[in-house]
Structure 1
Amino acid sequence: MIVLGRIVAPFGVQGWVKVHPFGDDPAAWKKMPQWWFSERDDAPDEQWKPVTLTGFRLHGKGLVAAFREVPDRNAAEAADGFYIGAPREALPKPAEDEYYWADLVGMAVVNQAGDALGSVSSLVSTGAHDVLQVQDGEGEDAVERLIPFVAAYILDVNLEARQIRVAWEKDW
């Protein structure tokens, strides 16, 4: 399951919800008549509940959506905090140089000198741009790096090799 976003609040009294998208093209999701909900972003596929999209609008930096299974504000409040996802085959194919966050998580990150900087543990949307959270090591010796996911720092994303090459120094 590819996690697309998270419900962040009810919207109105007719069951609509506000959604914070994890990515920059949520308008493409409107073409998917079925979405999936889960309380956990790492839940196995069989724990995701299918829901039917009945309404969709871009709203500010996010979107608002309505689902047949969420008929009123009480149901929308119960869905607050749920993750929204879809199986890969239901999603539109990303354009060249576009990636689903789920494809980037776990990828090795190396700099121009070939130094291993760790692996992508997650991504954060800051509003201005997305940021890779790169974890190097475990326990007390672990180092976390926050690398902006912008062309100035991301030199190459190789999905086949599961590696991201960055313009970032090991001691930054």
Structure 2
Amino acid sequence: MSEQAEDIELAGHVVLGKLTSPYGVKGWLKVYSHTSPMDGILDYPEWVLRQGQVLSRHRLLQGRRHGKGLVALLEGVEGREGAERLAGAEVLLPKAALPELPRGEYYWHQLEGLTVVTRQGETLGRIRYLFETGANDVMVVKGDPEGEPAAIDARERLLPFLPDEVVLDVDLDAAVMTVDWDPDF
């Protein structure tokens, strides 16, 4: 059953996907997933949904691949009208519910916000976000010369996430990533 979830600590959650639109007339919704593989979002039995400032908890009753996407049926969602009310909601999950990754692998949310420094000790900025390409993931690093820590400039740089080639070290406790990267590039 859905319940108001005002006690949910949003900082402890990660966005796994989004409910995009109703599917059919029985309360099913189309789901856009940020997980890899795409249907990994269906492995979590309870979803926290966020629509603006409104949060609610829903148990996943059923979910499956449909065409190139996913569809899901959530407890408490009745008919097309109920699904329409949830269209556009983000699907959140407590970070603690994510499986532990092997050493040297990271979730994107763990990398976002890290300070990026070169092996020579120059601060390039912070990782703002990452995106996928066909070859490798890319980190968007934005400098802030007046921020803390001060970056060498305010440029935005696109760095490939290539462990052992570009990414030399990730220290989550210190919130620092060391890279082999020419600041002029």
TM-score, normalising length: structure 2 = 0.70
**1:99 equivalent in structure 2:** 106
- Rate the CA distance shift 1:73–1:154 in 2: closer, same or farther, 3 A: farther
TM-score, normalising length: structure 1 = 0.74
Aligned amino acid, residue 80 of structure 2: R
Q: Displacement of 1:12 after TM fit?
A: 4.0
| Alpha-carbon distance in structure 1 between the residues aligned to 2:21 and 2:135 | 22
CA contact (8 A) 1:129 1:148 kept: yes
Structure of larger gyration radius: 2
Aligned amino acid, residue 167 of structure 2: I
**1:167 equivalent in structure 2:** 180
Unpaired runs of at least 5, structure 2: 1-12, 147-152
Aligned amino acid, residue 134 of structure 1: V
- Rate the CA distance shift 1:114–1:48 in 2: closer, same or farther, 3 A: farther
Aligned amino acid, residue 112 of structure 1: R
Question: Bigger relative contact order, structure 1 or 2, given CA contacts below 8 A and separation 6+?
Answer: 1
Aligned residues with identical type, % of pairs: 38
CA contact (8 A) 2:33 2:41 kept: no
Confirm or deny that 1:20 pairs with 2:32.
Answer: yes
- Rate the CA distance shift 1:116–1:18 in 2: closer, same or farther, 3 A: farther
**1:38 equivalent in structure 2:** 50
Confirm or deny that 1:121 pairs with 2:121.
Answer: no
CA RMSD in angstroms comes to 3.0
Unpaired runs of at least 5, structure 1: none
- Rate the CA distance shift 1:10–1:145 in 2: closer, same or farther, 3 A: farther
Q: Displacement of 1:160 after TM fit?
A: 1.5
